[in-house]
Amino acid sequence: MTRTAEKIDALVREDSSMADALEAVREEADENGGEIQWADVSDELSSGQWGRLIEKGVLVDGEDGFVIADREAFDEALDGDGTSASADVDIDEEAAQWTQWDKMAGAGAVLLMVGYWSDSVRNTVGSTLDLVLGPLDAALPFYAVILSAALLTGLYSTLLQANLMNSDRIAKYQERMQAMQEKRKDVQERKKEAEERGASEAELERLENEMQRVQEEQMEAMADNLGMFKEQFRPMVWIMLLTIPIFLWMYWKIRDGHIDGSEMEVVLPMVGAKQWTSGVLGPMQAWIVWYFLCSMGFTQLLRKSLNIDMTPSTS
């Protein structure tokens, strides 16, 4: 906040009627090309208020009268609170930064994704994970194995999101953007009103400059909101790191013929009998659709039972 804005805030705190006096000064300045004389505002200001504005340096000598010392700061102090709307919401940007472990998890997830196209990677991951999941596959039919995998992934996904994603911080990011949108809307409405009542060119120019400042602040806030996407994506890299190997194992079992031929067919709800490798929703094969249906259902049940709400709540 500039010194002029600080002085104006101090004057308004000392005398609440000073806000109307300052607005009268601004209107007169717009009508007279920036110059103001005591006679022009004597009906709206007391001599004491006029003297305080000069004493505080809000008004300084002009050619034929007085001018506002810092018009931009003057407008900002009157139209807002002396700070940008984005600064009103206190956000700990450092807390949204990824740790070294988060970055390593992201890199590991990307490397594992190669297994969807590389037979050697898929065989390595599939055969290794089969040492752990093989007994489960031997004890249950394969549709139940996929259901169990969906329950497991739904459980750790819910817990990871609850512990690694800060919903309050995300809500603050959203609140900041909402504040910026409201500020822009307010300036647009005041500009439209000024145009309809035939305001002076100086006033219209002031509102146009204010609109440009708000747009610049909004662009800066959007750049800062990269932290919100980091916050939201942070648990996803850990979920992917744990889920991709399970996906590769199921893909390895089905694609490379590691399950009995009698288990290759399944009866899906509203679809009927399908091979695991048959397309159900476009290119999505039956085993993927079955996994996602089970995973979404279990995830919702787990969130309800554990009383976990991942929806950011803005004030």
CA distance 6 to 53: 13
DSSP-assigned letter for residue 99: P
Residue 312 has pLDDT above 70, yes or no: no
What 3-state class would DSSP assign to 92?
Answer: coil
CA distance 128 to 115: 13
What 3-state class would DSSP assign to 272?
Answer: strand
Does 273 map to a domain? yes
- Residue 136's alpha-carbon distances to 193, 239, 287, in angstroms, are 71, 21, 17
Residue 190 has pLDDT above 50, yes or no: yes
Residues 128 and 232 reside in one and the same domain: yes
Alpha-helix residue ranges (DSSP H) falling in 114-200? 119-139, 142-164, 167-196
User: Where does a domain end: 83, 112, 138?
Assistant: 83
What 3-state class would DSSP assign to 187?
Answer: helix
Residues listed for the chain: 315
CA distance 249 to 261: 17
Residue 100, classified by CB atoms within 10 Å of its CB into exposed (0-12), middle (13-18) or buried (19+), is exposed
Return phi, psi of residue 64, to 5°.
-115, 0
Q: Which domain holds residue 79?
A: 3-83
pLDDT at site 92? 56
253-281 core/surface letters (b: 16 or more CB in 10 A; e: else): bbeeeebeeeebebebeeeeebebebeee
What 3-state class would DSSP assign to 91?
Answer: coil
Residue 3 has pLDDT above 70, yes or no: no
Residues 11 and 77 reside in one and the same domain: yes
Q: To the nearest whole number, what is the mean pLDDT of the chain?
A: 81
CB-facing half-sphere around the CA of 237: CA atoms within 13 A: 21
Residues 161 and 171 reside in one and the same domain: no
Residues 254 and 292 reside in one and the same domain: yes
Amino acid at position 10, single letter:
A
Residues 222 and 254 reside in one and the same domain: no
Residues 213 and 268 reside in one and the same domain: no
Residues 272 and 243 reside in one and the same domain: yes
Structure tokens at 97: 């930064």
How many structural domains comprise the chain? 3
Does 117 map to a domain? yes
Residues 243 and 291 reside in one and the same domain: yes
Residue 311 has pLDDT above 60, yes or no: yes
Residue 311 or residue 245, greater confidence: 245
Residues 73 and 34 reside in one and the same domain: yes
Residues 197 and 56 reside in one and the same domain: no
Does 156 map to a domain? yes
Tell me which H or E stretch contains 60.
strand 59-61
* Largest distance between two CA atoms of the chain: 99
CA distance 255 to 179: 52
Residue 249 or residue 165, greater confidence: 249
Residues 66 and 129 reside in one and the same domain: no
- Residue 5's alpha-carbon distances to 26, 61, 77, 169, 190, in angstroms, are 14, 18, 5, 30, 21
* Among 110, 130, 151, residue whose Cα is nearest residue 241: 110
CA distance 243 to 41: 72
User: Where does a domain end: 49, 83, 117?
Assistant: 83
Tens of pLDDT, residues 89-137: 555 555 567 888 989 999 999 999 888 888 888 899 999 999 999 999 8
Tokens 């009627």 locate to 17
DSSP-assigned letter for residue 82: S
Residues 291 and 278 reside in one and the same domain: yes
Tens of pLDDT, residues 66-76: 888 877 778 77
Tens of pLDDT, residues 9-41: 778 777 777 888 888 888 888 888 788 888 888
What 3-state class would DSSP assign to 35?
Answer: coil
